[in-house]
Amino acid sequence: MTAISSNSHSEDVIVIENLNKWYGNFHVLRDINLRVKKGERIVICGPSGSGKSTMIRCINRLEEFQEGSLVVDGVEMIEDVKNIETIRKDVGMVFQHFNLFPHLTILENLTLGPIWVQKKPKAEAEAIAMKYLERVKIPDQANKYPGQLSGGQQQRVAIARSLCMNPNIMLFDEPTSALDPEMIKEVLDVMIELAQDGMTMLCVTHEMGFAKKVADRVIFMDGGEIVEENEPEAFFSNPQVDRTQQFLEQILNH
Amino acid sequence: MKEFQPSSSRSAPVKSVGLIAWLRENLFSSIPNAVVTIAFISTLAYYIPLLIDWAFLSANFKGETEAACVNDGACWVFVNAWSYQFFYGTYPPEEVWRINLTIVLLILVIIGSFALPKSIRLKTSIAAWLLLPIVGIALLDGRLLGLEMVSTDLWGGFTLNVFMATASIVVAFPFSFLWALGRRSDMPFIRSVSVIFIEFFRGVPVLSLFFMGSVMLPLFFAEGTNVDKLIRVWLVLIFFMSGYMAEVFRGGFQAVPKGQYEAADSIGLGYWQKIMLIILPQVIKISMPNILATFVMLFKNTTFLLIIGIPEVVQTLQTALSNSYWLGGHALEGYLFVFLVFWGSCFGMSLLASRIERTMNTDKRD
């Protein structure tokens, strides 16, 4: 659905090889290897502190890493990558706490990127913003401020804000963890719709229903390593590693 | 299945307290409390009529000279006779429209900062604020506009306090923001320069800075150059103010959640776009009460300029008190007048600031 930049021919949009990261002396990511194909939907789960958020935050370089290589859309992410803003335009991100800009209206939140980063005229940016607001089903909230919206609505605005930049890849960092139980579904519905449209998605989430429904692969992380990865069917019914089994028992049977 | 009907809401119980009950509860709850209350009320009852009598009933309002002050009360004739000097110093009376025009421009810019339509408000008001000191100086000095020149020796009075404070804060504002950014910088050189600057100007009393500006600073200029005394003092005020405001802004920066930076990064904004579009507006909003407090402090500190002989309002008052035609001891009236003028302007600024805070507050639900 999205316009793909120059490297549309390459199959893998994200290639992570032997990625290692330390916070001081704390080894948070250990020899991560991951390839993501265009259009693939990946769900990443694991206990807190397992490095799952840190890993996806490396992809748009909100975090730096010390060893290994990470290629996004054919661009190697190295120490002083000059066009980091270009990568970030291609990679959308949705945060646990929405992180909408509280001093701007919903419409201004959405048009900020298109106007200032993509240099689009204001009218065009607003048209794009309204298109995505309709897609997340809250066009009537355009002129309100984030503080006036419910958590679920704010998170849908955050998704729309990322989509306005026309990204090739979407990263979701526990998008439903800060929501009231009744609001989780409205956000997941938007994400499912996005998945059906063929967006490349990496979701850190514990919504196992969502994983079963849309994921091509489920990855389980613990202690900074990828412990197990598999197709959702096999992952849930027949985990290969005892740690995975233990984790699934904890979150599925409570 | 039973259908859930939300029950209608009731209003909160009214806590009815009469005047007598309130008095008993708050002022006469115990014997010591009652004693203190009665003592306090009787003191007020004794002094307030005296004050009213002095200030109004037996005060002198009409007249031109000290001889007109025949009654026992306050001699407001003194304040009235010197009011031009208190407000405008020794500025030539036929040119005083320039000061008035500058004041009107200042008020227009303040009003415009809220009243303009939202689409043009921000850019117009920033431009207007930055232009204001230049236009003001050009008007007051006159040379740039082809008017008759009025030397800065003649500027004075309360309007000088207002102009010095306003011109300083307008210039200090962007600088202090840069110092605060510098103090948070990852680059050791920029960070240490910022820390040294901020801590120097915060750690040194403003009086000694004024002396430095008027006595020491000229030693650094090339021989023969004579930088105007007011400009030297202006520089001192700017440095002093930006040191303080940098710390105010730093507090504001720390209060903006990290997620805001990350969200700005994630949509690909560059460093300055992120700072100017996302972070700065939130920092200003958070820091608004402290910015105002700092400004009020600076505004009141401009009265210290009398120490280095600049004829601001208190200096003018002292000149008036030692005038040989007005030796009847009018210090009380004079200082009361200065007190009221400063209190009035500072209170006005408080009201203005709370209004700004309300317009900026978009976090709360309506």
Give the DSSP H or E segment for A79.
Answer: none
Of A99, A102, A165, the CB nearest to B268: A165
State the pLDDT at residue B283.
92
Q: Which of residues B277 and B66 earns the better pLDDT score?
A: B277
Given CB atoms, is A178 within the 8 Å cutoff of chain B? Answer: no
B83: number of Cβ within 10 Å: 14
State the pLDDT at residue B25.
83
State the pLDDT at residue B24.
84
A189: number of Cβ within 10 Å: 14
Of A62, A97, A147, the CB nearest to B266: A62
Of B259, B260, B265, the CB nearest to A88: B265
List the one residue out of A73, A88, A100, A105 whose CA is nearest residue A159. A100
Residue A17 to residue A52: CA distance in whole angstroms = 16
| pLDDT confidence bin for B362, thresholds 50/70/90 | low
| B268·A62 Cβ contact <8 A | no
A197: number of Cβ within 10 Å: 11
Q: What is the pLDDT of residues B302-321, one digit of tens each?
A: 999 998 888 999 999 999 99
Given CB atoms, is A86 within the 8 Å cutoff of chain B? Answer: yes
State the pLDDT at residue A1.
39
Given CB atoms, is B263 within the 8 Å cutoff of chain A? Answer: yes
State the pLDDT at residue B345.
93
Of B259, B260, B268, the CB nearest to A89: B268
State the pLDDT at residue B220.
78
Given CB atoms, is B366 within the 8 Å cutoff of chain A? Answer: yes
Q: Which of residues B69 and B249 earns the better pLDDT score?
A: B249
Give all strands of the β-sheet with A12-23 in edge-to-edge order. A26-37, A12-23, A67-72, A75-76
Q: Which chain B residue's Cα is nearest to A161?
A: B267
Q: How far is B96 from chain A (nearest CA, A)?
A: 43
Lowest mean per-residue pLDDT among A75-79, B68-72, B97-101, B108-112:
A75-79
**Token match 């007249």: residue?**
B63
State the pLDDT at residue B355.
80
Q: Which chain B residue's Cα is nearest to A91?
A: B266
Q: Which chain B residue's Cα is nearest to A97?
A: B259
State the pLDDT at residue A5.
43
| A85·B268 Cβ contact <8 A | yes
Residue B242 to residue B89: CA distance in whole angstroms = 28
Residue B19 to residue B312: CA distance in whole angstroms = 48
Q: Specify the pTM.
A: 0.82
- Residues in Cβ contact with A89 at an 8 Å cutoff, skipping those fewer than 6 apart: A113, A117, A118, A165, A167, B267, B268
Lowest mean per-residue pLDDT among A85-89, B66-70, B328-332, B341-345:
A85-89
Partners of residue B268 in chain A, C-beta under 8 Å: 85-86, 88-89, 113, 117, 165
Residue B107 to residue B98: CA distance in whole angstroms = 14
Question: Which stretches of chain A drop beneath a pLDDT of 70?
Answer: 1-10, 79-82, 254
Here the ipTM equals: 0.89
List the one residue out of B166, B157, B244 whose CA is nearest residue B206. B244
Residue B295 to residue B289: CA distance in whole angstroms = 10
State the pLDDT at residue A7.
44
Distance set, CA A171 to CA A84, A87, A100, B258, B312 (Å): 16, 13, 16, 18, 61
Over 50: is that where the pLDDT of B366 sits? no
Please give the interface size between A and B, counted as residue pairs whose CB atoms are below 8 Å apart. 73
| A145·B259 Cβ contact <8 A | no
Q: What is the pLDDT of residues B166-213, one digit of tens each?
A: 999 999 999 999 999 999 998 999 999 999 999 999 999 988 998 888
Residue A69 to residue B244: CA distance in whole angstroms = 45
**pLDDT (mean) for B318-338:** 89
What tokens does B182 get? 């510098």
| B263·A91 Cβ contact <8 A | no
Q: What is the pLDDT of residues B20-54, one digit of tens each?
A: 888 888 888 889 999 999 999 999 999 999 999 99
Give the DSSP H or E segment for A131.
Answer: helix A122-135
State the pLDDT at residue B229.
85
Q: How far is B285 from chain A (nearest CA, A)?
A: 9
